[in-house]
Amino acid sequence: MDANQINAGTTAWTPTNWKTKPIKQDVVYEDKEHVQKVLGKLEQLPPLVTPKEIENLREQLKQVALGNSFLLQGGDCAELFDYCSQGPIEAKLKVLLQMSLVLTWGARTSVVRIARMAGQYAKPRSKPTEMHNGQEILSYRGDNVNGFDPSDRTPDPERLLGAYFHSAATMNYLRSLLDSGFADLHEPSNWNLDHVRSEAVRGEYQNIVTQLTDALDFMRTIGADNSQQQSASSSVLRSVDFFVSHEALLLDFETALTRLLPSPSSKTKKWYNAGAHFLWIGDRTRQPDGAHIEYMRGIENPIGIKVGPTTEPDKLVELLNTLNPSKDIGKITLITRFGAGKVDTHLAQHIEAVRQSGHIPVWVCDPMHGNTKSVSGGIKTRHFVDICQELSQTFRVHKMCGSKLNGVHFELTGDSVTECIGGSMDLKDTDLSTNYQSYCDPRLNYEQSLDIAFLIAKYYQKERKNEEFPSL
């Protein structure tokens, strides 16, 4: 076996072995030579993330899987190249940091933050084509593939390079912001709660913010946050770990960013996907014998698997055995997305099958993807109450099974869009047209994202008061 092969599972693995397997959601380009030229260029470009960061995340996810920490993953459904801009990056970072502070306070544990950001540019679609003005055109597959404009639906290989450079610019600004103290959310002015319509609810949220900012102030006073003495980047509260993720969908692209690099934890070189810290496999591409699983089983990065109502428990165990034969704790994150009302039918069986297999994954709830509804005009939306219901049920079923929900996964944005119905600002279906921006799935807006964090914090408060099965 040469140095470029590893033994993952039973067969030797190479970054291109997946090409021998059946593939779903593939993109067909007209100009194959152009694709090869672009992939050659991508292979030359430097890593966007390092093995040290990837292994740091793996270590943190191990703690999440053991119940010592909580995972917050969130961001756009389809990130656009246009979001690679100062305002949207700052807004998304701010909302994720604020949510994570509320969750830290509520759950009394540290929170690991992973953004769907700096690379979430490729989308699987339920149909390859759609009708537009009576004509059948290719579906929008994400900025990595084609444009949303109906005249721009032909897959363009140059977009793969565009994805790399937009990821790089987004990462660069995220790193600069975090290094410059953006994570410092002591200031109560950062926490405007004017959107909350109900006075009682606003009072409750304000109470949490006051306690939280007081706690931060107290830590600063006693010097636990050494921000006075140390540089901003080394201070505990001002600088935080922040990781990026995307769905590993375009395997040619992922392969071009897969590098054999020295591992900080052993003396050997290992295969890392150097395009993101964390990658996940979507609900449509998780076939045990398919190309996506074959690619994912060889990389060192922590991996997510979307688990839906059609996932059979024994197939899930098969996936775990293939992707993580050494049963490393927290290497795999299982992201359940059944839909409100379906959790009871499926989750307990999955938990039991995984327990019997001996794997210890991170259990995360994605209460978004099973709760998408169409409203008139073909617009997609999600109801805030369904999202809360799926989360409540997931907390409850884990508890009933003697397991623990380790994290949450949301489609959200830092901007005040109007894509999901409900929340404390009480958005109605008639409000959707006011500022509906998403080219793919509907996201929680800034206010609804804070809402959900406050509700989870309240859930933990109720639990501490010995309520056995609190709801959100």
In DSSP terms, 129 is beta-bridged to 138
> In terms of CB distance, is 116 or 359 closer to Co ion?
116
Structure tokens at 139: 């579906």
Query: Taking CB under 6 A as the rule, does residue 77 contact ligand PEP?
Result: yes
Question: At closest approach, how far in Å is the CB of 163 from ligand PEP?
Answer: 16
Structure tokens at 468: 């056995």
> In terms of CB distance, is 55 or 386 closer to Co ion?
386
Q: Are 82 and 121 in contact (CB under 8 A)?
A: no
Question: At closest approach, how far in Å is the CB of 440 from Co ion?
Answer: 6
Task: HSE, CB side, 13 Å, CA atoms: give it for residue 60.
Answer: 23
From the list 16-24, 99-107, 279-287, 316-324, the region that binds ligand PEP by CB under 6 A is 279-287
Query: Taking CB under 6 A as the rule, does residue 282 contact ligand PEP?
Result: yes
From the list 203-211, 220-228, 234-242, 281-289, the region that binds ligand PEP by CB under 6 A is 281-289
Coil, strand or helix at 264: coil
In DSSP terms, 305 is beta-bridged to 281, 334
Rounded to 5, what percent of the chain is helix, strand, coil?
Answer: 40, 15, 40
Closest CA to 439 of 156, 160, 152: 152
CA distance 420 to 39: 38
> In terms of CB distance, is 183 or 335 closer to ligand PEP?
335
Task: HSE, CB side, 13 Å, CA atoms: give it for residue 347.
Answer: 32
Q: Are 338 and 347 in contact (CB under 8 A)?
A: yes
Q: Any idea which residue has 């309520």 for tokens?
A: 467
Rounded alpha-carbon distances, angstroms, from residue 81 to 119, 143, 164, 165, 433: 9, 7, 10, 9, 23
Query: Taking CB under 6 A as the rule, does residue 270 contact ligand PEP?
Result: no
Encoded one letter per residue, x for contact with Co ion by CB under 5 A and - for no contact, window 423-462 reads ------------------x---------------------
Query: Taking CB under 5 A as the rule, does residue 419 contact Co ion?
Result: no
> In terms of CB distance, is 77 or 417 closer to Co ion?
77
When CB distances are held under 5 to 8 angstroms depending on the partner's kind, the choice from Co ion, ligand PEP, none that residue 337 binds is: ligand PEP
Encoded one letter per residue, x for contact with ligand PEP by CB under 6 A and - for no contact, window 360-399 reads ---------x------------------------------
Question: At closest approach, how far in Å is the CB of 372 from ligand PEP?
Answer: 9
> In terms of CB distance, is 308 or 313 closer to ligand PEP?
308
> In terms of CB distance, is 259 or 337 closer to ligand PEP?
337
H or E element in which residue 281 lies:
strand 278-281
Query: Taking CB under 6 A as the rule, does residue 309 contact ligand PEP?
Result: no
Coil, strand or helix at 419: coil
Residues engaged in binding Co ion (CB under 5 A): 77, 441
| Residues near ligand PEP, by CB under 6 A | 77, 124, 282-284, 306, 337, 369
